[in-house]
């Protein structure tokens, strides 16, 4: 029995896609390699913050099922690959999951199938990596027997304004006919579609989007470092500059850059550039600045304790908000990791509080989670606000009397020091 869609990879990208397709009335099956993810979804339990349990229950009621059996791919009219594209242990792009997902699909797709890659990667991935795997494994030809599309994901965790249906979707195909099939598919549940000239342009557009943010975050981070050196209030600088109604896009400094996309995607662009004999000096400089910020936080913490006649060794430090982003539970690439690592290296007793994160470990060393914020504040020698979750009462934090290092510029008071 044919199904409209099989989503391969049910994480932060794949599950929202499956939910949107289910809501539009498509017959959807999810394929994932994690038994616990599959079992949870089939029991109407979500592991993705932007897709609540109630939404998964609605999906299941509409006929959605999750499985670890790749045989379901043979029943799909459309297969969308939403597998992660992270970095290797050496910091290089890791396309292993993409290659694996393409190989799994290759022997099971049939004539007429639409295959879509949504995973972020460098220009050429669709044509040079995925296409050969699919054609070799299936014996079919792209554009003649089946259709291959690249459509980069645009998921912004925690964003309540823009979701799948109202975020413009870039569509690109290996052939014009492939692109038309992509438009027909996504047009069923996305309001605005943007057709790219080709897959390489679409792949490059995705990397540009996130590299733009990466570079601008680095700029304001370096401005913050300079303002600290000069005794200038960087937050007032940003407020004043942000009042300009044209020619300025506001960004804010912080303890570092986190998440799966922003610190990772520029590496894919740099790697591809190197293979083409090109150097992205801007990205290299931005990475140096952004990777410096956690060390700056540790240095500021050390200075604050020294001002109270204490050393970092033996001091009790509380980290507030270890997720990479406000009001999400995701800790991938969070700057809290290098900050905690730097504090631990100096002998401090580090604990954390984050209402959305149940466990947080640095290099295999679990940190103790504090559940009572008031008691944790009283017990700490220093509190570092890394993520200003909306549950934190910043006025209460500022007036608690604890020594507070605010890396988000949200607090004020005699015991508060801003980044």
SS3 assignment, position 406:
strand
pLDDT at site 317:
97
Residue-wise pLDDT for 322-381, tens only, equals 999 999 999 999 999 999 999 999 999 999 999 999 999 999 999 999 999 999 999 999
Spatial contact of 87 and 96, defined as CB atoms under 8 Å apart: no
Residues in Cβ contact with 156 at an 8 Å cutoff, skipping those fewer than 6 apart: 162, 167
| Ranges of each domain in the chain | 3-197, 235-418
pLDDT at site 411:
86
Is residue 412 very low, low, confident or very high in pLDDT (cuts 50, 70, 90)? confident
Q: For residue 190, is pLDDT > 90? A: yes
The whole-angstrom separation of Cα 87 and Cα 124 is 18
pLDDT at site 415:
81
Q: For residue 1, is pLDDT > 80? A: no
What CATH superfamily is the domain 235-418?
NAD(P)-binding Rossmann-like Domain (3.40.50.720)
Kindly tell me the burial class for residue 144, based on how many C-beta atoms sit within 10 Å of its own C-beta (0-12, 13-18, 19 or more). exposed
- Nearest CA to 77 out of 112, 108, 53 is that of 112
Beta-bridged to residue 173, according to DSSP, are 149
The whole-angstrom separation of Cα 56 and Cα 328 is 18
pLDDT at site 132:
98
pLDDT at site 74:
96
Residue-wise pLDDT for 81-97, tens only, equals 999 999 998 889 999 99
The whole-angstrom separation of Cα 155 and Cα 243 is 28
Which tokens sit at 380?
Answer: 């700490």
pLDDT at site 220:
97
Is residue 396 very low, low, confident or very high in pLDDT (cuts 50, 70, 90)? confident
Is residue 416 very low, low, confident or very high in pLDDT (cuts 50, 70, 90)? confident
The whole-angstrom separation of Cα 268 and Cα 56 is 33
Q: Is 174 a catalytic residue?
A: no
Spatial contact of 324 and 330, defined as CB atoms under 8 Å apart: yes
Strand ranges (E), 1-64: 3-8, 28-31
Is residue 160 very low, low, confident or very high in pLDDT (cuts 50, 70, 90)? confident
pLDDT at site 324:
96
Among candidate residues 22, 174, 227, 261, the one labeled active-site is: 261
| 3-197 and 235-418, same CATH topology | yes
350: left (phi over 0), alpha (psi -120 to 50) or beta: beta
Q: For residue 320, is pLDDT > 90? A: yes
Residue-wise pLDDT for 257-316, tens only, equals 999 899 999 999 999 999 999 999 999 999 999 999 999 999 999 999 999 999 999 999
Q: For residue 76, is pLDDT > 90? A: yes
pLDDT at site 2:
87
Q: Is the CA virtual torsion 296, 298, 304, 309 positive or negative?
A: negative
pLDDT at site 127:
98
| Model pTM score | 0.92
pLDDT at site 266:
94
For 3-197, CATH gives: 3.40.50.720
pLDDT at site 260:
87
- 69 vs 411 pLDDT, higher one: 69
The mean pLDDT value of the chain amounts to 95
pLDDT at site 303:
95
The whole-angstrom separation of Cα 86 and Cα 10 is 16
């Amino acid at each position: 029995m044919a199904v409209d869609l099989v989503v391969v990879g049910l994480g932060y990208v794949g599950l929202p896609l499956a939910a949107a397709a289910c809501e539009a009335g498509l017959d959807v099956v999810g394929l994932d390699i994690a038994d616990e993810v599959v079992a949870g979804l089939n029991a109407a339990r979500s592991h993705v913050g932007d897709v609540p349990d109630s939404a998964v229950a609605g999906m299941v009621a509409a006929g959605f099922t999750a499985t670890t059996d790749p045989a379901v791919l043979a029943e799909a009219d459309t297969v969308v690959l939403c597998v992660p594209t992270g970095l290797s242990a050496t910091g290089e792009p890791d396309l292993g999951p993409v290659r694996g997902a393409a190989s799994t699909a290759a022997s099971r797709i049939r004539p007429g199938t639409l295959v879509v890659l949504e995973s972020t990667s460098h220009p050429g991935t669709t044509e040079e990596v995925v296409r050969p795997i699919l054609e070799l494994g299936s014996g079919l030809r792209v554009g003649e027997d089946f259709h291959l599309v690249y459509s980069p994901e645009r998921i912004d965790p925690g964003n309540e304004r823009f979701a799948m249906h109202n975020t413009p979707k870039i569509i690109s195909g290996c052939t014009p006919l492939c692109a038309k099939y992509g438009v027909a598919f996504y047009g069923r549940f996305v309001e605005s579609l943007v057709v790219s000239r080709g897959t390489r342009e679409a792949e490059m557009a995705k990397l540009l989007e996130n590299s733009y943010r990466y570079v601008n975050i680095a700029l304001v981070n370096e401005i913050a470092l300079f303002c600290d050196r000069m005794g200038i209030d960087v937050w007032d600088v940003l407020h004043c500059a942000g009042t300009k109604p044209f020619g300025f896009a506001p960004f804010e400094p912080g303890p570092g850059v986190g998440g799966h996309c922003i610190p990772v995607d520029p590496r894919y662009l740099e790697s591809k550039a190197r293979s083409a004999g090109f150097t992205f000096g801007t990205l290299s400089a931005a990475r140096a600045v952004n990777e410096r910020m956690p060390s700056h936080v540790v240095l500021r913490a050390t200075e604050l304790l020294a001002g109270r006649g204490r050393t970092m060794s033996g001091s009790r430090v509380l980290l507030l908000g270890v997720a990479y982003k406000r009001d999400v539970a995701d800790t991938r690439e969070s700057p809290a990791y290098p900050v905690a690592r730097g504090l631990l290296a100096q002998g401090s007793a580090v604990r954390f509080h984050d209402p959305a994160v149940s466990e947080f470990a640095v290099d295999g060393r679990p940190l103790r989670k504090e559940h009572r914020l008031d008691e944790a504040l009283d017990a700490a020698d220093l509190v570092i606000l890394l993520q200003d979750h909306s549950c934190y009462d910043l006025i209460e934090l500022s007036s608690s009397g604890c020594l507070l290092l605010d890396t988000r510029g949200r607090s004020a008071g005699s015991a508060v020091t801003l980044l």
